[in-house]
Amino acid sequence: MSDSESRRRLDESIAFFGTIIAGQTHEITNVLNIISELSGLQVDLLRAQEQDAPVDLPRLQEVTTRIQNQVHRGETIIRNINGFAHSADLPVAVFDLREVLERVLFLAQRSARLAQVELVSDLPPESIVLESNPFCVQQAVFTCIDLALRSASDIRRVVVDYVVRGDGAEIRVTSGDPLTQDENTEDRLELLQFLLESIGGSVVKRPGDEPAGVSVLRIPRHHSAESE
């Protein structure tokens, strides 16, 4: 690979990192805005007592519960951002595939919501511990999801699952809508191929290989930095 191509792929990874972080900070901002509105309502309810009016306890409890729910939502967002950020710490790390895919699906929900597409997790109970680059795995899966979201037209539903096979796992991203061909599609598919090859994996099936948009990514159980 030429220096210019390597630089382009690095820029794409940085852009992916920035896209995820920026999207999740928007989500945190939404959480804070909701908490601010609810706390204002809470103050209004308590001020009623100053005017000798009875405090609406059921309404006050409802507002308190909604604030607690938003706090929990914010904590979940931060926990996933933290895990995602640390996935770039090392070129090779030991990680649980199910946990990584759950994180990707959580982070991709914002994109799915904006695209008005249902993003479904159908992960099996059986997991597998991999020794590979978790950041590359996440970028590859997110790239498949992004292609599916961009192509959604009629069915508007994307399902992510995986199976453990021999010395690795196969991750599948399925959309009922066929892949939309545009000027960015082939570049995304080339990126997908590059990401999988960089960790010793492969694209078993590209989303444009059959009428339905199905991607199957093969991830080996072990991949060392020295083998790159």
The model's pLDDT over 100-144, given as tens digits with 9 standing for 90+, comes to 999 999 999 999 999 999 999 999 998 999 999 999 999 999 999
What is d(CA 199, CA 206) in angstroms, rounded to the nearest whole number? 17
Contacts of 101 (CB under 8 A, 6+ apart): 121, 123, 141, 160, 162, 171
Q: Residue 70 gets which letter from DSSP?
A: H
Q: Tell me what pLDDT residue 210 has.
A: 62
Tell whether the model's pLDDT for residue 228 goes beyond 60. no
Q: The whole model's pTM is what? A: 0.89
Strands (E), the chain: 93-96, 118-121, 129-132, 157-165, 168-175, 202-205, 213-220
- Reported as a single tens digit per residue, the pLDDT across 167-195 is 999 999 999 888 888 778 888 889 999 99
pLDDT band with cut points at 50, 70 and 90 for residue 161: very high
When pLDDT is averaged across residues 206-226 and rounded to a whole number, the result is 78
Single out the residue of 204, 106, 140 nearest to residue 9, CA to CA. Answer: 140
Q: Which residue has the tokens 């995304």?
A: 188
In sequence order, the β-bridge partners of residue 131 are 94, 222
Q: Tell me what pLDDT residue 45 has.
A: 85
The bridge status of strand 168-175 relative to strand 202-205 is unpaired
Measured in residues, the chain has a length of 228
- Reported as a single tens digit per residue, the pLDDT across 38-97 is 999 999 888 877 777 777 888 999 999 999 999 999 999 999 999 999 999 999 999 999
Q: Are 148 and 175 in contact (CB under 8 A)?
A: yes
Single out the residue of 179, 172, 182 nearest to residue 205, CA to CA. Answer: 172
Residue predicted with more confidence, 5 or 31: 31
Q: Tell me what pLDDT residue 225 has.
A: 63
Q: CB count, 10 Å around CB of 168?
A: 20
pLDDT band with cut points at 50, 70 and 90 for residue 212: low
Q: Tell me what pLDDT residue 1 has.
A: 64
In sequence order, the β-bridge partners of residue 205 are 216
